[in-house]
Structure 1
């Protein structure tokens, strides 16, 4: 198998109206990440979707006490990581968007209850790609700017939809994932391969 990837202020206001409406109260924004979310409808949409999925997972009555405690602990850790985005080389807003995309994929993948109600995210879907011995897991996020979250045993990358003639072309650092129906084309650096969405179950 080839080794592929992955490389791993106050809220903006107009008068008294916040620029965006996330799941939390912008008047209490306590970090630069929360400030950025309050000033960006794209980030606010990601925040609302992540909060929706998290609540669906938390309210799953079939979770054991240990699994529920783990979910809550991971969420606290994730918030700390998101709030550290001010340190990121890629820039605050890009880092926050990446953190949300990855967390949405984690919750959808790890907690079946989060997939029980239709919303702006979908998946995970397995994609079988030429040259990969294990399927690629893909979560599509259509909260704000369309994104695809690609996960393999080598890591996770959040790609953003860009212009294309047909289908949807998602782009990230040295990675392009171009979907047309159930077919897809994956390019990592100079390596290209054909993929197809696999049947689930």
Structure 2
């Protein structure tokens, strides 16, 4: 019995020893959202990607006014993320969504944030049958993979689920199934075929 307890203790220790560290010091976590990031490799991976993308945006060729705007919106985002303890989605899901939204927002708004290699890609425009405007899709290839879909009526975060081929991203009222440059989207039960457009 003692050997079993020691083995379990070693497994727990080794799991923690190899946990992913976020961009901030977990010993100084100042909110339940930051504590959730420190307790989850999935959230820590999103935090590291956001830090990378934000760093690229901040060190690109921005005017002082644009840089001040970037810093102010980041402070506002942190305050919003820290309000996730109030969310009906649950703390971890809300924090994950907030990170995904912010990564997509930075990639959309700052060309510098799209440089280098990392788990996020896009945004890519998808032209869909029956839709007046293209979808704007940013992919975050962390675990689990996410797609942030910008539409005329707002932005949604979809999470990858089981799929026979391609990748199927699911949300509350939307499904996006991608395969190469082709995609199928379903919103409130209405389906449409889409194609990734060339970025000019």
TM-score (norm 1): 0.90
Runs of at least 4 residues of structure 1 off by over 3 A?
13-20
Match of 2:67 in 1: 68
* 2:54 is the counterpart of 1:54: yes
**Considering only CA atoms, is the larger Rg found in Structure 1 or Structure 2?**
2
Match of 1:122 in 2: 121
Q: What does 1:110-149 correspond to in 2, within 5 Å?
A: 110-149=109-148
Match of 1:97 in 2: 96
State the secondary structure of the residue aligned to 2:136. strand
Match of 2:30 in 1: 30
- Size of the aligned set, in residue pairs, is 188
CA-CA distance at 1:144 after TM superposition = 2.5
Match of 1:200 in 2: 199
The alignment yields a C-alpha RMSD, in angstroms, of 1.4
Runs of 5+ in structure 1 lacking a partner? 1-12
Contact 1:18–1:38 (CA under 8 A) maintained in structure 2: no
TM-score (norm 2): 0.91
* 2:14 is the counterpart of 1:20: no
Bigger helix share: 2
Q: What does 1:148-159 correspond to in 2, within 5 Å?
A: 148-159=147-158
Runs of 5+ in structure 2 lacking a partner? 1-11
- Deviates most, 140-149 or 73-82: 140-149
State the secondary structure of the residue aligned to 1:200. coil
State the secondary structure of the residue aligned to 2:99. helix
Separation of aligned partners in 2, 1:188 and 1:124: 20
CA-CA distance at 1:153 after TM superposition = 2.3
Match of 2:82 in 1: 83
Match of 1:7 in 2: none
